[in-house]
Amino acid sequence: MTTEPRWLATDQLDAWMNLTQVLMLLPSALDRQLRDEAGVPHAYYQILAMLSAEPGRAMRMTDLARRVGATSSRLSHAVASLEQRGWVRRQACPSDRRGQIAELTDAGFATLEAAAPGHVAQVRRLIFDHLDDEDVTRLREITGKILPGLSG
């Protein structure tokens, strides 16, 4: 037995189209700014930022891949490039020989610190300068409701 699709209502379709455009345009706008001003691709910036927020500026590669939304092989390739730049180092996980830990180096942290002001300014220009405090609260609540369905 085939059931009829649950089509989106007009207001849902409008919201969906706006969201898809944001999801398509925002990453390239952030990437362009970071590459132009700091010579860092957005994906690499995210990895550095995630590591910087962790105790010891280090975390398991599998956890890092999950956090940045990358496959293990894509993350491994990115971390190899970051290692070549001297921004990250990998080491064996002491509790699991198969696991690896990525650690942000002092040079990587300095790169992140140099790139962060321009990145934050761009995020403000593109997103938060267009929202009032209520909008920000609603955005946080809405994304908080959506994220669990995407991460599992």
Q: List pLDDT tens digits, range 56-103.
A: 999 999 999 999 988 989 999 999 999 999 999 999 988 877 889 999
Q: Are 126 and 26 in contact (CB under 8 A)?
A: yes
Cα–Cα separations (whole angstroms), residue 79 to 32, 35, 36, 73, 92: 20, 17, 21, 10, 14
* DSSP conformation class of 56: G
| Residue 144 lies inside a defined structural domain of this protein | no
Quote the mean pLDDT of the chain.
Answer: 94
Q: How many whole angstroms separate alpha carbon 103 and alpha carbon 91? A: 8
Q: Quote the pLDDT of residue 115.
A: 97
CATH number at residue 79: 1.10.10.10
pTM of the predicted structure, to 2 decimals: 0.87
The total domain count for the chain is: 1
Neighbours of 127 (CB within 10 A): 15
Domain region containing 102: 35-119
AA letter at 32: R
Residue 152 binned pLDDT confidence (cut-offs 50, 70, 90): low
